[in-house]
Structure 1
Amino acid sequence: MTSPVLALRRAILDRAEGDETLLSLMGGVLRLHDEPPRAAAPVYALFGDVTAKDWSTDTDRGHEQTLSIVVWSERGSARDALAVAERFSDILDDAPLALDGHRLVNLRVTELSSVRDRDSRLTRVTLRLRAVTEVF
């Protein structure tokens, strides 16, 4: 059985790959990675921290996940990072995603925050989400 974390990530990737507006904002290709790409120019996004908590009962198995997508953009282009993060929010908030081995009960965007990274001076926008899943 696929883990709920990996199943949700795959579904997010599938949803994002099919969104022409998001692809356009990211330069024509989806740049959503597990790790920072070597020498990649921003704008790109990373799967950030995730926590999956078991909420199983005697009759049902499931998880509550809190996860993040972190968007990075070049110096002086906070607008680009915010536009990408807001598009992720638009396509993921309450989206009816199909998960392998799991059923998505709900997916909500809970927070969007923007900061300038002290070391690189790149803009970092973090989109936080909450998902509840059940095992088939």
Structure 2
Amino acid sequence: MSRSPIIVLRRVIRACLASDATLVAALGGAKIYDEAPRGAEAPYLLFAEASLRDWSTTGSRGAEQIFTVSVVSIERGVAQALTIGEQIVALLDEAPLILDGHHLVDLRHQASETRRERNGRFARIDLRFRATTESL
């Protein structure tokens, strides 16, 4: 099993999001991907960029992660993506998640950004989070 804080945190976040019936209904299934499969029907979620930096102290090894969860929609406008994004923030911001081999010190939503892709066909909202963890 991976000890990478990025992989461990993503695994737990995926499980948290997939277990929420309201979010799964809004997505039309537990469509949470690292990379969307060919022909994936929107709306769906993507784990996008992630960065990791050392957050160790003299007494413990730690990591700070900045990561993005993206909501992709094909509805006109950004209302669907924003609504789903709000659900994700409500589920993850300050969530007391239990990680394998790590202790989650803090998980906070930092920012959201909407945009259009592919000639306006896809609406997307990128939700940026900051997490700090300590190795057990």
TM-score by length of 2: 0.94
How much has 1:75 moved relative to structure 2?
Answer: 4.1
- 1:135 and 1:2 mapped to 2: Cα distance? 9
- The amino acid across from 1:61 in the alignment is R
In the alignment, does 2:117 pair up with 1:117? yes
Alignment check: 8 A CA contact 1:69 1:128 kept? yes
Q: 2:99 corresponds to which residue?
A: 99
- 2:37 and 2:85 mapped to 1: Cα distance? 18
SS in 1 for 2:50: strand
Residue identity over aligned pairs, in percent, reads: 40
SS in 2 for 1:58: coil
In the alignment, does 2:20 pair up with 1:19? yes
Q: 1:58 corresponds to which residue?
A: 58
Alignment check: 8 A CA contact 2:104 2:134 kept? yes
Q: How many residues align?
A: 135
Instruction: Map 1:75-90 to 2 at 5 A.
Output: 75-90=75-90
- The amino acid across from 1:41 in the alignment is E
- 1:130 and 1:106 mapped to 2: Cα distance? 8
- Aligned-CA RMSD value: 1.3
TM-score by length of 1: 0.94
How much has 1:121 moved relative to structure 2?
Answer: 2.4
**What whole-Å deviation, never above 9, does each CA across 1:69-113 have from its counterpart, x for those lacking one?**
011100405211111111110000000001111000010000111
Q: 1:7 corresponds to which residue?
A: 8
In structure 2, the gaps of 5 or more residues are: none
**What whole-Å deviation, never above 9, does each CA across 1:33-73 have from its counterpart, x for those lacking one?**
00122111110110010001011122210000000001110
How much has 1:120 moved relative to structure 2?
Answer: 5.6
